[in-house]
Amino acid sequence: MPKGKVEVVGGIMIYCDPENYPTNIKCQRKGFGAAVGIHPKKAPFFPHTKFEELRNLLRLKTVVALREIGLDRCAPASTWKLQEQILVKVLQLSMPICPVILHMRDTADQHCGEVGARCLQIMKANIAPTQRIHLHCFTGTVEQVVSWLETFPKCYFEVTGLVREFDCFQKAALRRIPRGHLLIETVAPYFRPLQASASTPAFIGKVALEVSRVRGEKVEEVLEFTMANTRILYQM
């Protein structure tokens, strides 16, 4: 795999801004799907009418996941309670056969320990243990890997290009994630490689390369089993 180049054969389009929900979602190529949700920073812009709109979008055949929802402590503290209320409300739309993609972010704690624990508490109280969960942009610790898998056996941990900045605790967590529960993502257009103006799915090979170095696995193996996990999770 020279210079991290790969062939992109699938992907998920994300619609998480209720102010810009599409009226319809079409995916022209096999292997591609869409996910709709409400980013926690958008909680103040999520009236009841948008809840019904989200419910209708989730019924589309092209929509394969509820994404992204969760808690974000980078937003003003005055919105945190509302974020939790919206998260609980939107979880009413979840179902075990449709993955829930969870966003957890804390500016003060790069491991997201407190906000991660709160998300786990909310999820445990509001969804079934059989729910398929995708932890988006995971930067947590070994303890978090263990606690999430104990509570939700169908939980998947996704890492991005941020892996190149992981500390020893995050690297230990990445090594602890079972092969059958690891995902990789570019999160385009964010987390760009240093030489690029923006991230694109074409850089997924570079993410796999960084993951392989931390886990001590061949990059080809990382690409193979994470692609298999993605297809299982999204049934695509």
| Binding annotation | 68, 103, 136
Q: Which residue in 141, 134, 86, 80 sits closest to 110, CA to CA?
A: 141
**Tokens coding 90:** 């939107």
Element (H, E) at 148: helix 142-151
Helix (H, G, I), strand (E, B) or coil at 195: coil
Residues β-bridged to residue 167:
none
Helix (H, G, I), strand (E, B) or coil at 175: helix
Give yes or no for a contact between 50 and 21, defined as CB atoms under 8 angstroms apart. yes
Which residues, in sequence order, are CB contacts of 23 under 8 Å at separation 6+?
Answer: none
- Please report how many Cα atoms fall inside a 13 Å half-sphere around the Cα of residue 227, on the Cβ side: 16
In whole angstroms, give the CA distance from residue 80 to residue 15: 21
Mark the binding-site residues for a divalent metal cation, compressed into ranges. Answer: 68, 103, 136
Alpha-carbon gap, residue 179 to 156, rounded angstroms: 10
